[in-house]
Structure 1
Amino acid sequence: MNTYSLDYIDDLYAQYVKEPNSVSETWRRYFEQFLVSTDAALELGPVDTSGEANGEHAAGAASGNGRPPTAAGPPVTVGDPNQLRHVAHVQDRVDQLVREYRVRGHLIAQLDPLGIARPACPELNPEVYGVTDSDLTRPYTASNVPDAATRTIGDVLKRLRNTYCRSIGAQFMHIDNRNIRDWLQRRMEMTENRLELAHEVQRRIYTRLADASIFEEFVRRKFVGAKTFSLEGAESLIPMLDLALEKACQHKVREVVLAMAHRGRLNVLANIMKKRAMNIFWSFDDPNPELNRGRGDVRYHLGYSSDWRTASGETLHISLCFNPSHLEFVNTVALGRCRSKQDRSRDTKRQEVMTILIHGDAAFAGEGIVQETLNLSQLEGYKTGGTLHVVLNNQVGFTTEPEQGRSTTYATDIAKMLQIPIFHVNGEDPEAVAQVVSLAMDFRKEFRRDVVVDLYAYRRWGHNEGDEPRFTQPRQYAEIDRRQSVRDNYLKRLLKLGQMTTEEAQDIQTVRTEKLESEFEASHTEEFVPDVQTLGGTWAEYVGGPEPDSGWTETGVDGEILSKLLDSLTRTPEGFAAHKKLKRPMKFRREMAEGKRPLDWASAEAAAFASLLHEGHPLRLSGQDCQRGTFSHRHAVLHDMKSGETYTPLAHLPDTDAPLELINSPLSEAGVLGFEYGYSLDCPEGLIIWEAQFGDFWNVAQVIVDQFIASAEDKWKRLSGLVMLLPHGFEGQGPEHCSARVERFLAMAAEDNIQVCQPSTPAQFFHLLRRQVKRRWRKPLVCLTPKSLLRHPLVTSPLEALTSGGFVKILPDLDIEPHDAVRILLCTGKVYYDLLEKRQHLGLKNVAIVRLEQLYPLSVEEIMAALEGYPSGCELIWIQEEPMNMGAWPYLKMKYVDALTERFQLSAVTRAESASPSTGSHSAHKLEQEDLLTAAFEDLE
């Protein structure tokens, strides 16, 4: 039996690792089978290696690396199967342990600055795997551990503990893509997740920590009892953002859209956005109440824009989004803004603009809009090239403990759905924070995906400065009361390392305090006027405020151009196999283009889209199934029945290259509507549309409408031209498929903040869409669109109606002479056609039907002018399909009843007051509709 020294086998194995084919087949087979180099006795089996024992064939010996059996070191006898089984067993169990560190190391990482929660994880105990202390000195073949191929088991485990169990916990093994896992593994394990920071970087981190804490201390001292939502306990956010912006600039990012809730916002405004402290201090004093009577917002909801100067002297533009108290709902608004900025500069690689979203831990886990936000990240219509998510983890939500507020281990577990890394980091270890943000930003650049950093911290003063957190978190706050700030703790480290002196730290404190004192004094002088950022740049040509007096815009399109555009929409590439049911409507549309057939609703919409694109205006339409249209009317994207390939006629218009996006959205209302609203904030020249599958469904996005669309101009002076298309109409399809809840929009309507329209003809819809873009006045448009009327034979318009004129707010009855009328039926939308058919059936010539096409803004003078020719004392009846407590009637009665009752006998015909919009019975619906029409013409038959 041959014997080999340990050194001989080690050297031979090292040669094998370097070049497998350089050793003999016998040894190669052995190493391939067991992949071990050990000081235990090894069995090679019944293989003749006598020549190799003398170095005759062994590559190690041939190259001078082999040693004879008499070389130093204990001899190894080949032939002991028990020893080999033990070695193989240890190797296998250590392989499992290595994986466990990567999968579960974060569970025992020292993440909590307060040190309260220290969970156990027995899977990370070597003894569980039968690895003894004596095994730790054994060499371990670790080809999957960077720079550890010939280390001992103890060395490898130490490396893994340092990487995954110190101040950083990493979750990445849930990612299916092995290339991504390997990239993260190498980046973390090669450095043991600890950057060697240059002296200048350490000083920069300390300075940013000082900026953050000194600002908070100053504000608390000067404005005793004021609500600030202090950042204290999480000051590491400021150096984290500082380093993220520096890294972004290195990655050639030129603009960052930043969004966050209220905690720490004032600090971010002062120390990241560089908003002058005097302006912030002035808002605390609030010395001019008349300036904000009925408008404005609290200081910790405000946004700001500024330029960031990097250490290398480059400039990065930052936009901090305005945000209501609805926390996470700003997320998709910010993403929409980012996408819009990218599209404006034709940044198709999504590299030049990025988003940073700062979340709260309780909100990130608790609010469903977070899932909607994450789900958009890899969808083609919503990609932005990867978002940096920072969870500002206070470890409590108001007074709610984590175990009461979520069913997951971490607040960030929802992010696992994205196949992205989640880094947890102790906020009291600023250098670990620096490592994490550097790694996160590099990951985003490398893979164009989102990345999450969970910054573990705490709130020093509770939910707000007037709150007493010890009522509900006594143990946590007992620990907080004993703690120094992260700035002071980091200074101790720098002093110990000799990287800073006490005098230098005091100088930083003095300079910043004096600067804040100077700003405070300036804000209290009589001549001080706060800076107010106004709309400029891309918004310079547009206005908000009251609707222009005329409210009229010419929106007709030259007939020859219109015909050419419409015809092009009926053409497909040669050999394209469109669905056979589309041949007839395509033929009809060609006839419409030639003026031989009046336009239906879908063709008028297509004409509006095509003409705006032809004139250079971007068009973006998104919504559930909007490419085809919920009711199969649009067919803007055609599918080849054989190949499945798609063709978009609007993308192939003659002499047109304006940006076009037609996007089937995920099954999301709040997230997608927020995204499109955000997109509209940076694309005033475009037609930006969100279409609900049914108008009823927008109520899932009520927060976006209430807090952004309806109130942003009043609160934040932000304008938007977003269009909401909401299919509306009582068709007997049940209470969730009938009403777009116009009453809710009208209840929010004030100060000309929105437009609420219900066009009843294709031409009116055409002119309404074009008016939204062609006039300078920018307001969100709520447009109630039809369902059954999409194919109603009476709902058509001649081509000539699109070539001149514009949208008309009130459509008169041209079939009835006003002086002959004994009754006026005032209505809006679909019910007009039901009333018209009923009147024709009854053969009446003394009942006028007047349509309100724009419900808001609409002045009393405009209504009275439309009714000018009708006899005083005539019956004026408002007709609506909705119940009496819904629809437009409650608003119209409140707004116009006094003026109308002076000249007319005013009343209303509606469905009965109801808690639900409609019946679920089709038969009952028909009965109710007939009762409605009968009441409208009662006593006139």
Structure 2
Amino acid sequence: RRHGHNEADEPSATQPLMYAKVKKQPVAREIYGKQLIKNSIVDEDTAKQWMSDYRDALDKGEVVVDEHRPMRQHSVDWSPYIGNDWDVEYDYKVSIKKLKDLGQKITTYPEEHKLNSRVAKVYQERLKMAKGEKSMDWGFAETLAYATLVNDGTHIRLTGQDSGRGTFFHRHAVLHNQEDASTYMPLNNLGSEQGQIEIYDSVLSEAAVVAFEYGYATAEPKALVMWEAQFGDFVNGAQVVIDQFLSSGEQKWGRLCGLTLLLPHGYEGQGPEHSSARLERFLQLSADHNWSVCVPTTPAQVFHMIRRQHLRPVRRPLVVMTPKSLLRHPLAVSEMDDLADVGFQNAIAEIDDLNPKKVKRVVFCSGKVYYDLLKERREREQEDVALIRIEQLYPFPAEEVAEIMKDYQHVKDFVWCQEEPQNQGAWYSSQHHFWAAIPKGAQLSYRGRSASAAPAVGYISEHNKQQQKLVDEALTIK
């Protein structure tokens, strides 16, 4: 580098001999210009004029390098998405008839396309879900969300290490013929007027892939662009893209972007490297309504969350702590009516028939730990603790929570319960929202794992002891 680190640097301070030679070396423009003049290709005045014209163009901010190939036309009209915030209203309703029709189509494939026996069983079960004969699981609801959008002409991109089948064998959007390895995608066979859906299994180079998808999402506001980590912690490899572009691109450059990150997150005893998607990092970076951070707990919620991300006239990133064990949890199911009649719920009230007047403690929580709390409370036949789920941690849904809290203005004991260690998860970054939500004079306390340098322990036995302890402490009123 002729100027060292940058134009304000003084490289000869540490490399005097090298930069004494560099200063004597003519620049490439001079060498090339002299060669052109020597070969009578241009004269000296023309060469000087070229240099002058080039500098003038730079000063005016003009493009000085012609594109070597024509760019594909992009959807460049961003005006519908400017000035809208995350809580803007949108039309989320879908008819039962349409859902059942699309459900049939996404469970249909050519008879000669021979599936793996386990995948074939998944599709047999999904056909029952489409007919309303069986409660729907996560994979079906998610795929049905894509179908409703693609059917109406939306372009969808989904990339990730195992996005076609899903890391946890739950999606199976791309079907592989067991006899000739050919593939078939039901989502690409909905009808002649449908939009395009692209699902690619990407390489283990998270920074490169997330950066590419960020760029794509900033160029195509009419497309739903998504990246899925194989495990949530894989997003660690793309942290530079998150910090410099995704979290702050709008504030720094006025650059809108609707990229969605699907980050598997939850404590199932798989050790420190595959438990946490580092929720705390995203919450720490949350400000100015720069993105949404969601932790959906039901198939209906993921259905509405995906549709909301595209249908509402807002183009800001969506960060999702997606589940692992909840993909097949017997309680984490939804019915067809849940998809048709309501939109995404930013907070979910108590679902059991408890008498609010008898409630002595309210537990706020997000994600998988809710089902651990629910199961334990039901086994205890306990009626004095209510469970409230915060499905969107940022922007915090203060109005929805306030509506739920109307039943608990007499309660003085409030708890935030999480699986993550105390210095991780939502406790430190979101605590002020919880305090603001509870009645004046009430107390808020923490129940969860102790602070830890690592996201999780490495032994399943220790994990189980910790999990049982935090659930017990959240429910036990002394």
Structure 1 and Structure 2 fold alike (TM over 0.5) = yes
Say whether 1:479 aligns with 2:17: no
2:319 equivalent to 1:782: yes
Counterpart in the other structure of 2:409: 871
Q: In 2, distance between residues paired with 1:517 and 1:888?
A: 47
CA spacing shift, 1:491–1:798, aligned 2, 3 Å: closer
Structure 1 position 553 matched with structure 2 position 95:
no
Structure 2 residue 341 is the aligned partner of structure 1 residue 804 = yes
SS in 1 for 2:326: helix
Query: Is residue 380 of structure 2 the alignment partner of residue 842 of structure 1?
Result: yes
**Letter matched to residue 24 of structure 2:** R
Structure 1 window deviating more from structure 2 (706-715 vs 482-491): it is 482-491
Q: What aligned pairs does 1:584-663 form with structure 2 within 5 A after superposition? A: 584-663=121-200
Distance 1:488 1:846, change over 3 A: same
2: CA distance, partners of 1:567 / 1:510: 66
Distance across 2 between alignment mates of 1:569 and 1:537: 28
- Counterpart CA distance in 1 for 2:179 and 2:31 is 68
Give CA-to-partner distance per residue, 1:788-826, whole Å, 9 cap, x none: 111111111100111122101011113234333111010
Q: Structure 1 475/846 Cα, relative in aligned 2: closer, same or farther at 3 Å?
A: same
2:467 corresponds to 1:929: yes
Over 3 Å counting, the alpha-carbon distance change for 1:507 and 1:802 in structure 2 is closer
What's the counterpart of residue 270 of structure 2? 733
Q: Please give the per-residue CA displacement for 1:881-929, whole angstroms capped at 9, x wherever unaligned.
A: 0000000011122444356473521111010110001111011111111
Corresponding residue for residue 724 of structure 1: 261
Q: Does 1:906 align with 2:444?
A: yes
More deviation, 898-907/567-576? 898-907
Let me know the Cα RMSD of the aligned residues. Answer: 2.4
Distance 2:264 2:36 in 1: 64
Pairs within 5 Å for 1:358-369:
none
Greater CA deviation, 590-599 or 912-921? 590-599
CA contact (8 A) 1:617 1:658 kept: yes
Aligned-partner Cα distance in 2 for 1:699–1:883: 18
Say if 1:728 and 1:740, in contact at 8 Å, map to a contact too. Answer: yes
| CA shift in 2, pair 1:511/1:800, >3 Å | closer
- Considering only CA atoms, is the larger Rg found in Structure 1 or Structure 2? 1
1-structure distance, mates of 2:51, 2:239? 46
Matched, 1:882 2:424: no
How far, CA to CA, are the matches of 2:184 and 2:471 in structure 1? 44
Which one is further off, 907-916 or 817-826? 817-826
For 1:268-667, list aligned pairs within 5 A.
Answer: 394=1, 459=2, 461-505=3-47, 538-544=76-82, 547-548=85-86, 550-667=87-204
User: Which position in structure 2 is the counterpart of 1:920?
Assistant: 458
Give the distance between the partners of 2:273 and 2:411, measured in 1 at CA: 39
Quick check: 1:732–1:921 contact (8 Å CA) kept in 2? yes
The equivalent of 1:314 in structure 2 is none
Match status 1:851 vs 2:371:
no
Aligned-partner residue type, residue 738 of structure 1 = S
* Cα 1:880/1:519, change in 2 over 3 Å: closer
| Contact 1:735–1:920, Cα closer than 8 Å, also in 2 | yes
Q: Is the 8 A contact 2:75 2:220 kept in 1?
A: no
1-structure distance, mates of 2:174, 2:351? 38
Please state how far the C-alpha of 1:592 moved relative to its aligned partner.
Answer: 1.3
Residues 541 and 500 of structure 1: CA distance in aligned 2, closer, same or farther (over 3 Å): closer
Q: Distance in 2 between matches of 1:699 and 1:464?
A: 30
2:121 is paired with a residue whose SS is helix
Q: Unpaired segments of 5 or more residues in structure 1?
A: 1-393, 395-458, 521-535
Q: Structure 1 544/757 Cα, relative in aligned 2: closer, same or farther at 3 Å?
A: farther
Deviations 1:843-901 (A, max 9, x none): 01121100000000115444333312212442110000000000001112244435647
Asked if the contact 2:362–2:411 (Cα under 8 Å) also holds between the matched residues in 1, the reply is no
Q: Is the Cα contact below 8 Å between 1:601 and 1:762 reproduced in 2?
A: yes
Q: Aligned residue for 1:187?
A: none
Contact 2:84–2:313 (8 Å) recurs in 1? no
Shift of 1:467: 1.3
How has the CA–CA distance of structure 1 residues 655 and 482 changed in structure 2, closer, same or farther, with 3 Å as cutoff? closer
Per the alignment, do residues 503 and 658 of structure 1 end up closer, same or farther by CA in structure 2, a change over 3 Å counting? closer
Equivalent position SS for 1:909: strand
Query: Residue in 2 aligned with 1:830?
Result: 368
Aligned AA for 2:320? C
Deviations 1:494-527 (A, max 9, x none): 44344444455566677788x699979xxxxxxx
SS at match of 2:321: strand
Q: 1:640 and 1:489 mapped to 2: Cα distance?
A: 61
Cα deviation digits, residues 469-518 of structure 1 (max 9, x gap): 012222221112223333434443344344444455566677788x6999
Query: Using a 3 Å threshold, how does the CA distance of structure 1 residues 474 and 545 change in structure 2: closer, same or farther?
Result: farther
Which of these residues, 686, 690, 695, is aligned with residue 223 of structure 2?
686
Matching residue within 686, 703, 710 for 2:247: 710
Change (3 A) 1:508 1:734: closer
Cα distance change, pair 884–757 in 1 and its aligned pair in 2 (3 A): same
Task: Name the TM-score, length of structure 2 as normaliser.
Answer: 0.91
Q: CA deviation at 1:638?
A: 1.5
Alignment-mate amino acid for residue 488 of structure 1: E
Superposition deviation, residue 542 in structure 1: 3.4
- Note if contact 1:883-1:911 (Cα within 8 Å) is conserved in structure 2: yes
Q: Distance in 2 between matches of 1:646 and 1:516?
A: 51
Once the two structures are superposed, the pairs formed by residues 221-260 of structure 1 within 5 Å of their partners are: none
SS of 1:848 mapped into structure 2: strand
Kept after mapping to 2: 8 A contact 1:554/1:805: no
Is the CA contact 1:565–1:654 (under 8 Å) kept in the aligned structure 2? no
Specify whether residues 466 and 783 from structure 1 end up closer, same or farther in structure 2 by C-alpha distance, changes over 3 A only. same
- The alignment-based identity, stated in percent, is 42
Change (3 A) 1:502 1:749: same
Report if the CA contact (8 A) 1:628-1:635 is conserved: yes
Q: How many residues align?
A: 465
Does the 8 Å CA contact 2:226/2:259 hold for their aligned counterparts? yes
- Rounded to whole Å, the distance in 2 between the matches of 1:551 and 1:677 is 23
Specify the code of the residue in structure 2 equivalent to 1:871: Q
Q: 2:69 corresponds to which residue?
A: none
Deviation at 1:598, TM superposition (A): 1.4
Equivalent residues of 2:161, 2:203 under 8 A apart: yes
SS in structure 2 at match of 1:878: strand
Gapped runs of 5+ residues in structure 2?
62-73
SS in 2 for 1:851: strand
Q: CA deviation at 1:832?
A: 0.6
The answer as to whether partners of 1:556 and 1:767 remain within 8 angstroms in 2 is no
Q: 1:547 Cα deviation (Å)?
A: 2.1
**Aligned-partner SS, 1:807:** coil
Distance 1:546 1:906, change over 3 A: farther
| Amino acid of the structure 2 residue aligned with 1:717 | G
Q: Which amino acid aligns with 1:593?
A: A
Deviation for aligned residue 1:538: 2.4
